[in-house]
Amino acid sequence: MEMIGFAFLLLGLVSPISVASRIQASSELLDFEALNCRKHSAVLTQFGGKGDGKTSNTNAFQSAISQLSKVASDGGAQLIVPPGRWLTGSFNLTSHFTLYIHKDAVILASQDESEWPLIKPLPSYGRGRDDSGARFISLISGTNLTDVVITGGNGTIDGQGAIWWQKFKNKQLQNTRPYLIEIMFSTQVQISNLTLLNSPSWNVHPVYCSDVIIQGLTIRAPVDSPNTDGINPDSCSNVRIQDCDVVSGDDCIAVKSGWDEYGIAFGMPTQQLIIRRFTCVSPYSAAIALGSEMSGGIRDVRAEDITAVTTESAVRIKTAVGRGAYVKDIYVKGVTMHTMKYVFWMTGNYGEHPDNGYDPKALPVIENINYRDMTAENVTIAGHLEGINGDPFTGICVSNVTIGMSSVKSKKGPWNCTDVSGVSSKVSPQPCSLLPEKQPGTIVPCAYPEDKLPIDNVQLKTCSAIV
């Protein structure tokens, strides 16, 4: 790693004495895992950064990354955020680049709206989600990148979102709230070993990306904060989400692919997604939601080793007439649940259209949905599976599932199924008649793919940062 030489060469401003004394004063060598290690390394303070929690570091981040982008084709660079509290507005990442956030560093999102420039709506949504206007750009943003890493020894990004939640609830915003991290049209993306707090809205939004690794994230927002989804893979391919732990005010993971006529026209699915070793608390939402925006299609999603405690549902499919496309080839196994309204929930009349231009003939195809090896306790409703009249959800399979009902169980019975078809095997309480027992007396397991997704062949390298 070329450290001093690079800083000296690139930044006439930095004297060799200050660099040398910095390295002498604190020579902490930290190892971390990344897609690629970088030839060049720099620290935010070399670009005028001040970690006092008060001074805006927007210029420091932007000029650091702009300088470091010049070595993208010469081995790339890493920017280290050292211990301190680093207030900042939005900044953009670059290719062949690593942002390393030290365990004692906190990136604090500015609460000043002027620090968040506006950008256009996403093409697959046609408008902002909160409002028909523009979107505030996300705190950490990246477009058209290759090989970008955001990681740390569990360093923190604090969105300080309370002011945004309040403005949203009071309808004081003309534009859609920012996210904490949004990476668009990029490939080879890693977001790992971070704590994300109090996002103004969604936390992590990879959109139109491929080859994405998200792991070791701790995400926290109040359970009543609006739309603080944890991780939203959106029109992305070949994605791995593992070892993450979310407590939030909306779906812990929401898999998406665009909205009604805009999503159908854009036509980019989310596919080849694996979620493993995932924990969720979210009393009013799902551990894993598929939709409701799914108009580019969602297929080949695998989820295993999931723990959901106090969530409204475990895996939920949300769709509507007008969405078109499909949710198919979904495989879930090994889910442990405690205190839920629904274990299984599918909703075909979710509604929420971007505008009146949606096509009422665009019916979503929901098929080949497999759920197995699950236990749940203290559940109100085992399954509410609601397809679309004239467009049934088909190929639903549920096997080896034991659901303990709470004493306040629904008077209407544990299952309610309409416009769906499928099979069950060794499920208690006994499913609705639309999911008949496949072979009474034996467990016939629902499908789960044996092959590996290509993202699981990616080996991370051990890199280091001198802080």
Ligand X SMILES: *[C@@H]1O[C@H](CO)[C@@H](O)[C@H](O)[C@H]1NC(C)=O
By beta-carbon proximity to ligand X, the closer residue of 185 and 436 is: 185
By beta-carbon proximity to ligand X, the closer residue of 17 and 408 is: 408
Q: How far is the CB of 416 from ligand X (least distance, A)?
A: 4
d(CA 76, CA 95): 8
Enumerate binding residues for ligand X (CB under 6 A).
32, 62, 92, 117, 119, 141, 143-144, 153-154, 185, 193, 195, 215-216, 218, 243, 339, 373-375, 378, 380, 386, 400, 406, 408, 412, 416, 418, 443, 445
Q: How far is the CB of 310 from ligand X (least distance, A)?
A: 8
Q: Which residue's CB atom is positioned nearest to ligand X?
A: 216
Joined tokens for residue 137: 């750009």
Q: How far is the CB of 62 from ligand X (least distance, A)?
A: 5
Q: Are 224 and 198 in contact (CB under 8 A)?
A: no
Joined tokens for residue 207: 């959109």
d(CA 133, CA 325): 26
Q: How far is the CB of 337 from ligand X (least distance, A)?
A: 10
Phi-psi label, residue 352: left if phi above 0, alpha if psi -120 to 50, beta otherwise: left
By beta-carbon proximity to ligand X, the closer residue of 141 and 319 is: 141
Q: How far is the CB of 451 from ligand X (least distance, A)?
A: 19
By beta-carbon proximity to ligand X, the closer residue of 142 and 296 is: 142
Closest CA to 142 of 105, 100, 90, 198: 90
d(CA 240, CA 124): 22
By beta-carbon proximity to ligand X, the closer residue of 117 and 267 is: 117
Q: Is 329 a catalytic residue?
A: no
Q: How far is the CB of 216 from ligand X (least distance, A)?
A: 3
Q: Which residues contact 439 (CB under 8 A, 6 or more apart)?
A: 425
Q: How far is the CB of 379 from ligand X (least distance, A)?
A: 8
By beta-carbon proximity to ligand X, the closer residue of 143 and 160 is: 143
Q: Are 296 and 268 in contact (CB under 8 A)?
A: yes
By beta-carbon proximity to ligand X, the closer residue of 132 and 406 is: 406
d(CA 465, CA 260): 45
Given the residues 229, 250, 300, 373, the one annotated as active site = 250
- Residues with active-site annotation: 250
